[in-house]
Chains A and B, each alone.
Chain A
Amino acid sequence: MTRRRRRWSIGHLLDGFFFVFAGLAAIWLAYLSLTQAFQVGWAGVLLAIVFWGLLAYLVLPRLHRILTSIYVPDYFMGRTRTSDGLLGDPVNLAVLGEREQIERALAAAGWIAADPVGWGSSWRIITSTLGRRSYPRAPVSPLFLFGRMQDLAYQQEVAGSPAQRHHVRFWQCPDGWLLPGGRRVDWLAAGTFDRAVGLSLFTLQVTHRIDADTDIERDHIVESLSGVPGVEVDVIRDFATGYHSRNGGGDSITTDGDLPILDVRAIRIPDAAESARSAPSADAGVER
C-alpha cells in the first residue's frame, strides 16, 4: 500500500512563505535605514549608501522575483529573463550543430569564452572596469531561457576595458523542442552590445547598458562566424516581428525581427587520436 505523494510538500510551502516574508521584512529594513539616515547627521551619508545597497541588491530583486512569478508567463516569447524574472536580452540567433562545433567556430572567429561568475571574476571585472584595464574573459551575468542559465557565453572586448564589449549567450534547446512555426534548431542565442556601465533607473543597480539596436550586434556575430570555413547561414524573415511590434509597451530594443540560423554542422571535430597527433590550434578543423 503506497501513500499518495502530495503535490505540495510542507517544506516547499514553508520555503515560499519565508521567501515572501523575507521580501516584506527587507522593505521594512530599507525604510528603517532611510529614516535613520536622516537622524544621525553626517553618518547618515553612510546609511544612505547602505539603504541604496539594500534596496537595489536585496529588496527590489526579491520583490521583482515574487511579482514576476505571478505576472510574467514562462513560455517561450523570444526574450530571455534576468535572475529577477524581468525580461532581458532578445533571442536573435539560432544555431544548428553540436556544442564542440559551436565552440570551435566561435574561437576561430575571434570570440573569447567568458569566465564563470564567481568571487574572483566579479572582483576582477569591477577593478578592471574602474581601472580601465583589459579583461578579455570578463564574466557575463546570468540570463535565463528554458528556465536555466546560459550554457555558453562568449565576448569580444572593445576599447581595452570590460565597460564596452560584444557578448552572446547560447542555450541548448530541449529535445524535440520546436520554434514557433515548427522549425527545429539545436541552440538559441541572444547577442547584444554592452555600450557602457551605468546605473539602471529601473533596477537601481550598477550594470551594463546595452545598445538598443540589437540587429547591429546580431549582424556582427553572423558576419564574424560566416567568415569561418564550413559555416552556412540561413534566415527566417520576420521571425520576431510579432514579439516586438509594440512600442511604448516598455520595449527598449528595436529589431527588424529576422532570425539568422547558423549551420555549423560541417565543422569537423578531430577525434582523440587525431588531436594527439596534431598540434593544438584554434582552427575550425575544416581542411585547408
Chain B
Amino acid sequence: MRRPAATVAGGVLVLLRALSGAVWGAAVLFGLPPWLRATAGFANGDNIIPAEDTIDDLGLPPEVFVGVLGVVFLVQVVFGILLLWGSNAARVIVMIVSTISIVTAFVSWWEVGAEITVATTLVTLALDILVLLALSSRDAAAFARRNEKRD
C-alpha cells in the first residue's frame, strides 16, 4: 500500500522537530548566533530560555545538557522513522503525546490567560496540532493498520 501524504507529513514533522532541537542545543553549547538559536527554538518551544544565555548561565554541566538533549533527539528520530514505516503503535503514542501537549497549552491559555504568540509557543502548538491532524486522518490510519487481520 502506498504511503499516504498524511503519513509522510506526520513523520517529516516529527523529524523536523528532532532536527530543530539538535540545532538549538548546538547553538546553546557552542555559542552560535542568537538568530539561529531563536529560529531553531521555535519548533520546540525552547525559546522560553532567554536567547542571550549561554551554557554556563543554565547552571548545568554540559554533559547533562548534551545527555538529555541527545536522548530526546534519539527518541524523536526513532519515532519519526517508525511513523514513516507505518507503525501503528508509534502513531498512537505520538498522537497521545501531541494531545497532552495541546491540552496543556489550552488549559494555560484558557484558565491562566497565557499568551500564545508567534514569538513564544504558537509554532510549537501549531506543529503539535498539524502532526495530530495528519496522523489521525483516515489515510494514515488505514496505512498504519494495513497489516491488521480483518474479521
Decide: A22 near B122, CB < 8 A? Known: A11-B88, A28-B106, A32-B116: no
**Does A25 sit within 8 A of B, measured CB to CB?**
yes
* Interface assignment of B75: CB less than 8 Å from any CB of chain A: no
Residue A146 lies at the interface, judged by CB distance under 8 Å to chain B: no
Q: Which of B72-118 contact A (CB under 8 A)?
A: 88, 92, 95, 99, 102, 106, 116-118
Point out the residue from B88, B130, B132 that lies within 8 Å of A21, measured CB to CB.
B132
The reply to whether B133 and A62 contact each other, CB–CB distance below 8 Å, is yes
A36 touches B132 (CB 8 A): no
Say what secondary structure dominates the interface of chain B.
helix
Question: Which residues from A are CB-within-8-Å of B138?
Answer: 19, 65
Do A5 and B116 contact each other (CB < 8 Å), given the known contacts A14-B92, A22-B129, A22-B136?
Answer: no
Bound Cα distance from A278 to B13, whole angstroms: 52
**Interface membership of A29, Cβ < 8 A:** yes
B132 touches A22 (CB 8 A): yes
| Residues of chain B lying within 8 A (CB to CB) of residue A40 | 118
B32 within 8 A of A: no
Size class of A's contact patch?
20 to 34
Bound-state CA distance A77–B139 (Å) is 25
Q: Decide: A15 and B136 in contact? CB cutoff 8 A.
A: yes
- A117's nearest neighbour on chain B, judged by CB, is B5
Which residue, A15, A28, A58, has most C-beta atoms of chain B within 10 A? A15
B126 within 8 A of A: yes
Mark A114-127 against chain B: 1 for CB-CB distance below 8 A, else 0: 00000100000000
* Residues of chain B in range 120-144 having any CB-CB distance to chain A below 8 Å: 122, 125-126, 129-130, 132-133, 135-138, 141
Q: How far is the CA of A21 from the CA of B137 in the complex (A)?
A: 11
A5 touches B151 (CB 8 A): yes
Q: Among the listed B88, B126, B137, B141, which residue makes an inter-chain contact with A29, where contact means beta carbons less than 8 Å apart?
A: B126
Partner of B118, one of A11, A36, A119: A36
Residues of B within 8 A of A28 (CB): 106, 129
Residue among B126, B130, B136, B138 with max Cβ neighbours from chain A (10 Å): B136
Residues of B within 8 Å of A19, CB to CB, are 136-138
Q: Is A243 an interface residue (CB 8 A)?
A: no
Residue of B nearest to A37 (CB): B118
User: Chain A contacts of B102 at CB under 8 A?
Assistant: 25
CB neighbours (8 Å) of B95 from chain A are: 18
The CA of A21 and the CA of B96, in the complex, are separated in Å by 11
- Contacting residues, chain B, for A36 (C-beta < 8 A): 117-118, 122
Contact call A29/B136, Cβ cutoff below 8 A: no
Question: Closest CB of chain A to B136's CB: distance in Å?
Answer: 4
CB of B32, distance to nearest CB on chain A (Å): 25
Chain B residues near A58: list those with CB within 8 A: 130, 133
Q: B132 touching A18 by the CB < 8 A rule?
A: yes
Q: Which residue of A lies closest to B110 (CB)?
A: A28
A26 within 8 A of B: yes
Rounded to whole angstroms, the CA-CA distance of A58 and B131 in the bound complex is: 12
B48 → A minimal CB distance (Å): 18
Contacts of B106 in A (CB 8 A): 28
Could you tell me if B126 and A25 are in contact, using CB atoms closer than 8 angstroms? no
Docked CA distance A40–B141 (Å)? 37
Which residues of the partner chain B approach A26 to less than 8 Å between Cβ atoms?
A: 129, 133
The B-contacting residues of A in range 5-32, CB under 8 angstroms, are: 5, 11, 14-15, 18-19, 21-23, 25-26, 28-29, 32
CB closest chain-B residue, reference A5: B151
A: which residues have CB within 8 A of B? 5, 11, 14-15, 18-19, 21-23, 25-26, 28-29, 32-33, 36, 39-40, 47, 58, 62, 65, 119
Please, could you name 8 A-B residue pairs with CB atoms under 8 Å apart, sorted by A? A15-B141, A21-B132, A21-B136, A26-B129, A26-B133, A29-B125, A58-B130, A58-B133
Given A18-B99, A19-B136, 8 other A-B contacts at CB below 8 A?
Answer: A11-B145, A19-B138, A21-B132, A25-B102, A29-B129, A32-B116, A36-B117, A58-B133
